Amino acid sequence: MLRTLLLLALLPASVYAQTTQEKVRDYRSANEPQILKEYMALLAIPNVASDTENIRKNAEFIAEMMKQRGLAPRLLEGPTRDTPPAVFGEYKVPGARRTLLLYAHYDGQPTDPKQWTGTHPWKPVYRNAALEAGGQIVSAPAGNEPVNPDWRMYARSASDDKAGVMAILNAFAALKAKGIPLTSNIKFFFEGEEEAGSPHLAEIIKANRELLEADAWIICDGPVHQSGRKQVVFGVRGDVNVDVTVYAAKRPLHSGHYGNWSPNPAMMLARLLASMKDDEGRVTIDGWYSDVEPLGERERRAIADAPQYDEEIKKQLGLSRTEGAGKSLLELINVPSLNINGFASGDVGDLARNVIPTTATAVLDLRLVKGNDHRRQVERLIAHIRKQKYFVTENAPTDVERAQHPLIARVNVRPGGYNAERTRMDLPVSLTVIEAVQSTTRDKIVLLPTSGGSLPLSIVTENLKTVTISVPIANYDNNQHAENENVRLRNLWEGIETFAALMTMGPAQEGARSGR
Amino acid sequence: MLRTLLLLALLPASVYAQTTQEKVRDYRSANEPQILKEYMALLAIPNVASDTENIRKNAEFIAEMMKQRGLAPRLLEGPTRDTPPAVFGEYKVPGARRTLLLYAHYDGQPTDPKQWTGTHPWKPVYRNAALEAGGQIVSAPAGNEPVNPDWRMYARSASDDKAGVMAILNAFAALKAKGIPLTSNIKFFFEGEEEAGSPHLAEIIKANRELLEADAWIICDGPVHQSGRKQVVFGVRGDVNVDVTVYAAKRPLHSGHYGNWSPNPAMMLARLLASMKDDEGRVTIDGWYSDVEPLGERERRAIADAPQYDEEIKKQLGLSRTEGAGKSLLELINVPSLNINGFASGDVGDLARNVIPTTATAVLDLRLVKGNDHRRQVERLIAHIRKQKYFVTENAPTDVERAQHPLIARVNVRPGGYNAERTRMDLPVSLTVIEAVQSTTRDKIVLLPTSGGSLPLSIVTENLKTVTISVPIANYDNNQHAENENVRLRNLWEGIETFAALMTMGPAQEGARSGR
């Protein structure tokens, strides 16, 4: 600790960071055409995890990139050849007392090319601004002219999360090229099925425990703050999806001949769902909030210090009301949620008919925070459904069950549920990461106890003696998971500088391995 | 009246009917292959009212059928060439003192072919039993072998309501072929947009008043009683459909980053719909039941005399609970209803994603009884939505409206709503029709003050000096309005006999024109 303070005193952070940052920027600037060409080649490879042939091509492409940067990459295979492999690499620093594992994922969300506007998910192109702001498709400048950093690259995973792969590997390349010494051993880990719920991550970690141990996993995924400020996020919410179907008559009925005598499944499900929340949007399921692990003092302060952006977002979204009885968005993502992803019964629009449908189905999305257990939270949901006098089953009801139970709900928990993860902000490694990211920008960075989004980081900490900290780089309006995904180039360039700062941050603080 | 009694005394109904019925049956039996071939050709023409090209082909096909039976059909056109024409024909009986208009409709409900099981809506095929009872697709017997009358024809409108067209025109053909004299002038009227809510029926009637006057309109539409007994129905419910859409954020949001802060439209709509009914299924909208015109003594007795079939239907439908606090189905169709035809928000199944959808939509079906007015009932619905603090608009909300109103519901009343209609059971023409239908069967026929279903019969009685009486023929388990619609052949054959009896029923009772 003393040594750190001495070093900081001798070499003020701003000067030190400025120097490294400038050198990294010079490298990036000089190599921009090559970096972008390589990036477009990577983005052109379709990367849905279930597309086994293409997903492996992505892994091989990334391994080749690592080789070109002097690393000796390995593909960490899952249980079958169809499992997207993780791409692993390692760079040892003689005498380093800390090991950082830098994580990104190279697979992307499935998408329907027809829903994209003027571009194709796997044919990357530039737009001179966001599509929503009227951005037009434009060609790269001729020769070695720099591309306007406010231009955007449109492609699936342009930001989520091949941007992470690019930022990490180009930061490393820049430091090597400029002869800047790294201060930690660095491990690289690029996952290939994160968007599919990381179904084999636990197996891959268990099979490669020693290889994947580190003082911290630094996760490069997700967007920076809506204000444009960089942020460091110390947790992610857990997530589990549940399908709920309620049953009415066995065959569709004429709504005139049977309506208001034969029960309507859409009304049944509407009543069931309505029973789960109050007027303010608070979940009324017994015990829903009882496991929540309270935030610490530093976490509460970080939320209070974060930019107040709610009114701005409400305006953008056309909302004049939010749920949560006046609580802010940042407060609310620190409590477990219940969201309806979809609801379907019968037909609407031109196909609507005067019938009583046979079933109604909703897909629920339960987000979890530190302290929740995804199995326990689902049990509470099921207990609530039972409390509404429903018989709960995992299958379509039999005739015997129909005869016995006036109300029947089929409840199926989708595979791949996992818990939340949160690292204390006051751990030494947390403080060092905060300092490193802050060193790259004059704006005050935003610190969040948790992201609203989810990653299966609990799989990491349940299987390794490490902690996880997320350092996202993408623009917040990147349309991740949706059509027209994009990255603003400036975010990619700043991401390279951020990761260079992390690879060269001050010496390891004592105690980084203790606590979570 | 005296003359009628004398005639009945001289020519007992059972003997007279038996003779006619047998002759009609002989004709049908001898011509069965041709009748079925013609029917399949008619069913093969797609018949959604909005499919302007095909719907006209149906009309032309039916006109050709009428020509072949010696009639001189006319197409009664609506205001534009896109309006499905009504097909009209007339057969005058010298000396007849009564005119009956026989009504059926040739259009069918829209349907998604993908939802049909093994068959296509406009490729009629036989099954050797109901699909739900394991019926298999089978070929017609070779040569002139009769088809098993318990087989079913699967196609859109096989029962609703091309069966009506077939029963009427083949009854007429049978009587002509067998030289049996008709006792009334007969008018034929086949409508082409009933399932679209008869939006131009009033115009067509007004433009052809003299042509369409009759002592009674006999409506061939809908199913016989669930017990299999024939029935005569003296009323229909009114009907109006309403689309309700509620609005959340303007773009789909990541459910983790924004869930439980940004409102979920499916939950909003679930809560709104849940507010419309109580635990027993009673509509809680203010004034919903206050206009209902009470039933007369004869109508109440008819309901009490009708077979008690509720437990049997519940068993068939797999229901162990019905709405209405223990009231019977027949009682409940005499009060106004509110049904959800469809509910959609986001996606379910494989396409479900962790998003907050932007909107949720439900299509509501309001059934009306005598005394209700469809405009007034919709006003009550809208007043209820306002009472739940919604701003109600007919359009997608503007940014200004979004800023002003926390809760926004778009409410669109579908065109074509109409009121209920009910003819008194004790009118002379009512009594004669009852007698004619009863003459074709040994089972006691069922008499109902109203059907649960709807037809725009109020349009008829508001524009003509006539009454309406429904004589349905289809099997009750015909899946009308849904996928896998079918007719059991026995019902079609018995329908021909029923309509032959109506065309040859006893002389007009005095006073048929009086009262409604």
Interface test with A, best of B258, B313, B368 (most A CBs within 10 A): B258
User: Which of A233, A267, A410, A454 to probe the B interface (max B CBs under 10 A)?
Assistant: A267
Amino acid at A303: I
Please tell me whether residues B178 and B218 are part of one structural domain: yes
- Ranges of residues in chain A with a pLDDT under 70 are 1-18, 507-516
Nearest to residue B61, comparing CAs of B51, B75, B82, B81? B75
Q: How far is CA A104 from the centre of its chain?
A: 10
**B14 assigned to some structural domain:** yes
B192 and B81 within one domain = yes
In a domain, A299, yes or no: no
- Comparing CB atoms, the residue among A357, A361, A397 nearest residue B348 is A361
Which residue in chain A has the smallest CA separation from B255? Answer: A339
Whether residue A321 lies inside any domain: the answer is no
**Per the CB < 8 Å rule, is A241 touching B354?**
yes
Which of A354, A365, A368, A372 to substitute to test the interface with B, most B CBs within 10 Å?
A: A354
What pLDDT is stored for residue B8 in this prediction? Answer: 45
- Nearest neighbour of B403 by CB, restricted to A264, A320, A363: A320
Looking at the fold, whether A130 and A40 belong to one and the same domain comes out as yes
Q: Per the CB < 8 Å rule, is B342 touching A346?
A: yes
Co-location of B7 and B50 in the same domain: yes
Q: Which of B413, B447, B475 is at the close of a domain?
A: B413
Cα–chain-centroid distance for residue B206? 22
| pLDDT digits (tens), chain B, 516 positions | 444 444 444 454 555 445 899 999 999 999 999 999 999 999 999 999 999 999 999 999 999 999 999 999 999 999 999 999 999 999 999 999 999 999 999 999 999 999 999 999 999 999 999 999 999 999 998 888 899 999 999 999 999 999 999 999 999 999 999 999 999 999 999 999 999 988 899 999 999 999 999 999 999 998 998 889 999 999 999 999 999 999 999 988 989 989 889 999 999 999 999 999 999 999 999 999 999 999 988 899 999 999 888 999 999 999 999 999 889 999 999 999 999 999 999 999 988 888 999 999 999 999 999 999 999 999 999 999 999 999 999 999 999 999 999 999 999 999 889 999 999 998 999 999 999 999 999 999 999 999 888 888 889 999 999 999 999 999 989 998 889 999 999 999 999 999 999 999 986 444 333 333
Tell me, yes or no, whether A373 and A465 share the same domain: no
- Which domain CATH number covers B477? 3.40.630.10
Among A489, A497, A479, A503, residue whose Cα is nearest residue A121:
A479
Task: Note whether B214 and B83 are same-domain residues.
Answer: yes
Is ipTM beyond 0.95? no
End residue of a domain, out of B413, B444, B466: B413
CATH, residue B273: 3.30.70.360
Within a domain: A268: yes
Are A198 and A283 in a shared domain? no
| Closest residue by Cα to residue B493 from B2, B28, B13 | B28
Residue at A157 is within a domain:
yes
Please report the residues numbered 353 through 372 in chain A whose beta carbons come closer than 8 angstroms to any beta carbon of chain B: 353-357, 360-363, 365, 367
| Diameter of chain A measured on Cα atoms | 87
- Residue whose C-alpha is closest to residue A169's, from A510, A512, A516, A492: A492
Query: What is the predicted pLDDT for the residue at A359?
Result: 98
**Would you say residue B302 lies in a domain?**
no
Question: Which residues between 177 and 206 in chain A have a beta carbon less than 8 angstroms from any beta carbon of chain B?
Answer: none
Nearest partner of A417 among A451, A465, A377, judged by Cα: A377
pLDDT of residue B347: 94
Bridge pairing between strands A185-191 and B137-138? unpaired
Among candidates A248, A267, A349 on the partner chain, residue whose Cβ is nearest the Cβ of B277: A267
CA distance A327 to B501: 73
Q: Where does A291-395 show beta strands of DSSP type E? A: 337-346, 355-356, 359-368, 391-393
Residues A115 and A22 placed together within one structural domain of the fold:
yes
Whether residues B207 and B266 fall in one domain: no
Domain that holds residue A477: 2-236+420-503
Q: What is the pTM of this model?
A: 0.80
Residue B465 near residue B154, CB atoms below 8 Å = no
- Residue A468: inside a domain, yes or no? yes
Tell me, yes or no, whether A361 and A476 share the same domain. no
Alpha-carbon gap, residue B66 to B91, rounded angstroms: 11
Domain shared by A112 and A250, yes or no: no
Q: CB–CB of A51/A82 below 8 Å?
A: no
In a domain, B165, yes or no: yes
Claim to verify: residue A61 and residue A195 sit in the same structural domain: yes
Return the sign of the alpha-carbon dihedral for residues B62, B25, B451, B516: positive
Quick check: helix, strand or coil at residue A247? Answer: strand
Domain boundary (A413, A446, A475) is at A413
Beta-carbon pairs below 8 A across chains A and B: 329
Q: Are B454 and B237 in contact (CB under 8 A)?
A: yes
- Number of domains chain B is built from: 2
